[in-house]
Homo-oligomer: A and B are copies of this chain.
Amino acid sequence: MTKLHSHQHDHDAGHAHDHNHNHCIDTALATAETLCIEQGQRLTKVRRRALELIWESHRPLGAYQLLAKLAEEGFNSAPPTVYRALDFLLAAGLIHKVESMNAYLGCAHADRAHKGYFLICDECHNVMEFDYQDIHAALIAKAAKQGFELRAETIELTGLCADCKAKATDAAAVGTSA
């Protein structure tokens, strides 16, 4: 697990805040390998590369975007290739699907069982995963009150992230002073 502590300001990669995104990638890949070994699963070339490509940013990646990237690198370019890789990564809990975007996102907490709760920025399209045990418990209770047995949750919140809100405020300030 190579940890590069170089401080990068890689806005094109689409992160939510300034952070060392290589660390995100390294951690995710290391976790993936550990989990696959533990569970006797095979992290093949195409699966591993798909995971890396999804982790290029904190913006969800569409299946066909991923397919194009894989094709550029010489992988087979038919849809089943990418959907199989996605299915594997989803089943292994290494990625999430963002339903409201039909796109896929690396999971930073693959090593612990959890539901994906997402904050999606309308502006920069970065997605932050958050865990809110209180809300989860409240949802279970609410469902149970109606006799409903909860199995899965799709919690996707959209709006403006802190960075984009700051930028919008700045732009407005420039607008009024000009």
Contact = CB atoms under 8 A, between A and B. Distances in A.
A44 interface: no
A150 B122 CA distance: 10
A90 interface: no
A159 B151 contact: yes
B134 A146 contact: no
5 contacts: A119-B146, A138-B138, A148-B159, A148-B160, A151-B158
Interface residues of A, number: 32
Interface of A: 99-100, 119, 121-122, 128, 130, 132, 134-135, 138-139, 142-143, 146-162, 165
A149 B159 contact: yes
Contact of A150 (B146, B148, B152, B159): B159
A156 B153 contact: yes
